[in-house]
Structure 1
Amino acid sequence: MSEKSYNVQQENLNFQTISEFKWCMKAHGELEFVWKNKSYSITHPDGKISICQGDHYAEAFDAETPDEILDFLIDGVKLRNIITKVTVIDRTV
């Protein structure tokens, strides 16, 4: 039996709306994205939502809710203002 291969296009990984991002966070989705040539990751350690640049986990910002993480500042701009513009490299949900 041959394996099926799926060609997932990059734009399918990007968030189209803030609501889609919030749904992903509520479903404990994890993701990696790039904004202005810097990579970021969002994970869910210990039931929280955690964001950090690259693999700088010790410098991560932890939030309780999707709205709190959307208020996180990246280069002086709230994540909520750029989440539909970032390039998502990978996501689980």
Structure 2
Amino acid sequence: MSKFTVINGSNSFEDNRFKTISEFQWCVNNGGEVEFEWKGNLYAIVHPNDRILIGIGYYERNGKYYNLNTDKEHTEEDELWGDTADDILEFDVGGDKLRDVITQVKVQWRSI
């Protein structure tokens, strides 16, 4: 039996929501990937190269990357690399620290 719970598209936003900071920390520290919305902006948390990356959603056009929310070219300020969920909780989302709003964001999808 797997220790991971897959949260899929059939869940409500309330089901997907992180109820506590500890729940978020457990998810991200155990490889969970998350897509969420805050103040109308989309963000994602992924795990490339055995690290954790949080960033504003982006798209590619003509070999360049653009911020999904502003259509401006993607910059280093649009993302933060970390080694733990605590590092990621310091990221600025729409003028707020993620730590202060993680239990309020609209989680679109999460893997665990």
RMSD (CA atoms): 1.7
Higher helix share: 1
- Residues in 2 aligned to 1:34 and 1:18: alpha-carbon distance in whole angstroms: 17
SS in 2 for 1:29: coil
Provide the residue aligned with 1:22 in structure 2: 25
List gaps (5 residues or longer) in structure 1: 1-5
Q: Which residue in 1 is equivalent to 2:103? A: 84
Matched residues, number: 88
Distance 1:13 1:88 in 2: 6
Q: Which runs of 4+ in 1 moved over 6 A?
A: none
Q: Percent identity, aligned pairs only? A: 42
Please tell me the residue identity of whatever aligns with 2:103: T
| TM-score with structure 1 setting the length | 0.85
Which consecutive unaligned segments of at least 5 residues does structure 2 have? Answer: 1-8, 59-66, 68-73
Normalising to structure 2: TM-score of the pair? 0.72
Q: Distance in 1 between matches of 2:43 and 2:10?
A: 24
